[in-house]
Homo-oligomer: A and B are copies of this chain.
Amino acid sequence: MEIIKGGITAPKGFKAYGEHIGIKKSRKDLAVIYSEKEATYVGTFTTNIVKAACVSWNMERYKNVDKISGVVVNSGNANACTGKVGEDNNQTMAAIAAECFDIDQDNVLVASTGVIGKQLPMNAIIEGIKKVAPLATNTIEGGYEAATAIMTTDTFVKEIAVEFTIGNKKARIGGMAKGSGMIHPNMATMLSFITTDVAITKELLDKAVKEDVASTYNMISVDGDTSTNDMVMLLANGMCDNILIEAEGKDYEIFKEALNIVNVFLSKQIIHDGEGVTKVIEVIVEGAKDLVDARLLAKSVITSNLVKTAFFGEDANWGRVLCAMGYSGAIFDPTKVTLYYESTRGKIKLLENGLPENFSEEFAYEVLKEKEITVHIILQEGNFNATAWGCDLSYEYVRINGEYRT
């Protein structure tokens, strides 16, 4: 298992590119992905009832179309709350991309991110797809340009590739993601695109993605708002020539491990690039009675505004952590909770078996000065653990999201 250079074009047979086509003022805003061999496709989608046109389109493919060859993504406009016109525009995007790639529009996925409630500038988009699609290339640069073009106010490109061996074949998973940012302040859309040349059945691919998303993307939070456009999509084209993975076992486990590396990396990158972030917080819950509770507790702590502002203030205000655990919905005995904060400067115990420690405020302040902080929560309820990633809540978050859209 080795991290290699590149992103979504690292797996065999995947081409990509990204360019500026005129949705945004000057930054790149359109990306394409193409798989030489039809790829098995699975995805997870926002749970928001208000779904962008692209989310509905891709959910439909997920249900009724097994194989996908092309993906077209625009940033700068979410094509959400745009009604029937928005649906038609989404379909046109797929149709134009299909024409360029010489495939059927049913084998094309679409993703949009940006401002809500505005119709897409279709002339620019149609011309743009025609310009960008022929440039798709399987080089590292192709993947990088695509990862650049899906960004909104992201401040850095998020991509990763992993190489590993399945049977005696070298296989790869590549991924790119965009995080919480926007041109016109809007909502923290999270998009993640994963490619692999592993041959695996749709059923197992689906299982692997669902399980892994639950412990990666679903365990991060910038501001607790679930976007209308959130999506994770995975394309597996089988071009590494491994024996098709059609049952759980060693090959499946290797694949899942590689997938987890990619998804944890991208999830954490999204947090590192969260709006107004000055600190990245990792919350590790150990000893919960079941996995649901472990995740509830970790997510509740990472989502609390009061916990987030305390970290922004470098304040070891552990009472807020316990409070957020208390209203999480998880069952635990507060008198059995032990709590530590840790950074590269050291580890400090704040609470043992529910009772406050007499800790040094000076040392706590030292520990909290770092950019990356881990909160260790140890229960004594059972054997289940979970980790969540989040960030502090800063003046800058308020500034970014309070600024006028236009």
Q: Which residues of A are in contact with B by a Cβ distance under 8 Å?
A: 46-51, 78, 80-83, 115-118, 185-188, 223-228, 304-306, 309-310, 312-315, 317-320, 322-327, 330-332, 334-335, 351, 354-356, 361, 365, 393-395, 397-399, 401-406
Contact = CB atoms under 8 A, between A and B. Distances in A.
Nearest to A350: B117
Which of A188, A393, A402 is the most central at the interface, judged by chain B CB atoms within 10 Å of its CB? A402
Listed from nearest, the 8 A-B pairs whose CB atoms lie closest are: A116-B319, A313-B402, A50-B326, A309-B401, A48-B326, A226-B327, A117-B356, A49-B326
30 contacts: A46-B327, A48-B323, A48-B327, A49-B331, A51-B326, A115-B319, A116-B323, A117-B318, A117-B319, A185-B309, A185-B315, A185-B317, A186-B319, A187-B323, A224-B304, A225-B305, A225-B323, A228-B319, A228-B326, A305-B305, A305-B401, A306-B401, A309-B402, A313-B403, A313-B404, A315-B402, A315-B405, A317-B405, A394-B398, A398-B398
B81 A356 contact: yes
B323 A354 contact: no
Contacts of A309: 185, 397-398, 401-402
Nearest to A229: B323
A225 B334 CA distance: 17
Which interface residue of A49, A117, A323 has the most chain B CB atoms within 10 A? A323
Given A354-B83, A356-B118, A406-B361, A332 B49 contact: yes
B224 A305 contact: yes
Given A334-B81, A356-B118, A314 B187 contact: no
B315 A225 contact: no
A320 B398 contact: no
B322 A81 contact: yes
Nearest to A48: B326
A288 to B, nearest CB: 13
A86 to B, nearest CB: 10
Contacts of A186: 317, 319-320
A48 B312 CA distance: 24
A47 B398 contact: no
A81 B333 CA distance: 12
Contacts of A351: 81, 117
Nearest to A187: B323
Contact of A49 (B115, B223, B334): B334
Nearest to A228: B323
A225 B186 CA distance: 24
Nearest to A118: B356
Contacts of A83: 335, 354-355
B306 A187 contact: yes
A299 to B, nearest CB: 13
Contacts of A225: 304-306, 320, 323-324, 327
